[in-house]
Chain A
């Protein structure tokens, strides 16, 4: 009995000490990690919008480019990122929409950029995804993302949405073999953000 109590006590104290230490470290590093996440998001937006930046640009430089070229604006309930010069009265060159939703294993987050006509896709990037490496994880690969460039966000009948693995069409791209669930979920996320964007745009006009 005494032995068991000692064992439980030992485990409790050791566990508590480890947990306290890790909590301390986690809260100490939290602001740095938040900053890294912000830079990652900014990089994702810049890439989606096709704003020139060097691959080895420092974090501070990326934020500088972002602030100089991108304005955040509200449209309905969502934030859109507008690519325009800071003087900014002229027509925007492109806009980026943030999308987020459940993937197969974890959240998928990223940005969909549209040309000035608000119909043609300019770029697609993912700032966060945890899909199976080599299968669903391929959504982050350039070959998959580049398929979207030049596609439209409406089908022939004018219905908003994108079709992944839906055959031919101005709004259809190839799916990934062996990643059906990831592709279906990504399609649902993109459809959601596109139809909301189109709806809110009509309301705004």
Chain B
């Protein structure tokens, strides 16, 4: 992950709020080193919760919230955190934000909480969140870390939204529960709702992502 993220190394040297690194960081997370399509992180939840667009969006929002929050606090505390227990501290911070979101869902969005099941709680173990805290927030100032958390959260949420949209549309002919593809000429493909549909869709998303991004980055990384 280190080589693929130049911002993480160079940003320390710059002074000032974002040091002009804000846009690069944002583009990195959302596009250049997209956590889902390029780094292949968070695949488990991306496969599990994307059978409907609504649940995909809520899961994406959860990850943005957790990633921004944990990055901010890990970054704020980075000079005070003893090196030996830094990962335990990171997990404590991440777990706090995840439980906050989970409690919020359970109280005010009960149906969605039931649908997402254990996957909100499992964000604690999501590699993206821990990875960003470890690789970025520990070395960078708070504001830039927020940008990084937001960027990676958006990159993940965007991927989930695309997969969720494709699966719900092709699997049920609906979007947000409203019929889009009429039953007269479209037969919903149940396969898209089932687990294999998630694998197919994720594969296509990754392929398209890499094709659009172009081969030049791969050369650079080598």
Contact = CB atoms under 8 A, between A and B. Distances in A.
Given A6-B82, A7-B85, A14-B92, A22 B107 contact: no
Contacts of A39: 110
A36 B107 contact: yes
Interface stretch (A24-32, A69-77, A116-124, A156-164): A24-32
Given A29-B106, A32-B108, A36-B110, A7 B82 contact: yes
Contacts, number: 46
Contact of A32 (B80, B85, B99, B107): B107
A29 B99 contact: no
A36 B82 contact: no
A3 interface: yes
A10 B108 CA distance: 34
Interface in B80-115: 80-82, 84-85, 88-89, 92-93, 95-96, 99-100, 103-104, 106-108, 110
Given A18-B92, A18-B96, A10 B82 contact: yes
Given A18-B95, A22-B96, A29 B80 contact: no
Contacts of B106: 29, 32-33, 36
Contacts of B85: 7, 10-11
Contacts of A29: 103-104, 106-107
A145 to B, nearest CB: 18
Contacts of B77: 14
A33 B107 contact: yes
Contacts of A10: 80-82, 85, 89
Interface string B40-78: 000000000000000000000000000000000000010
B99 A22 contact: yes
Nearest to B89: A14
Nearest to A25: B103
A36 B113 CA distance: 11
A21 interface: yes
Contacts of B95: 18
A26 B81 contact: no
A26 B82 contact: no
B218 to A, nearest CB: 39
B92 A15 contact: yes
A18 B98 CA distance: 12
A44 B174 CA distance: 28
Interface of B: 77, 80-82, 84-85, 88-89, 92-93, 95-96, 99-100, 103-104, 106-108, 110
5 contacts: A10-B81, A11-B85, A14-B89, A14-B92, A18-B95
10 closest Cβ pairs, A-B complex: A32-B107, A29-B107, A36-B110, A7-B82, A18-B96, A29-B103, A25-B103, A18-B92, A33-B106, A33-B107
Given A11-B89, A32-B107, 11 more contacts: A7-B85, A10-B81, A11-B85, A14-B89, A18-B96, A22-B96, A22-B99, A22-B100, A25-B99, A25-B100, A25-B103
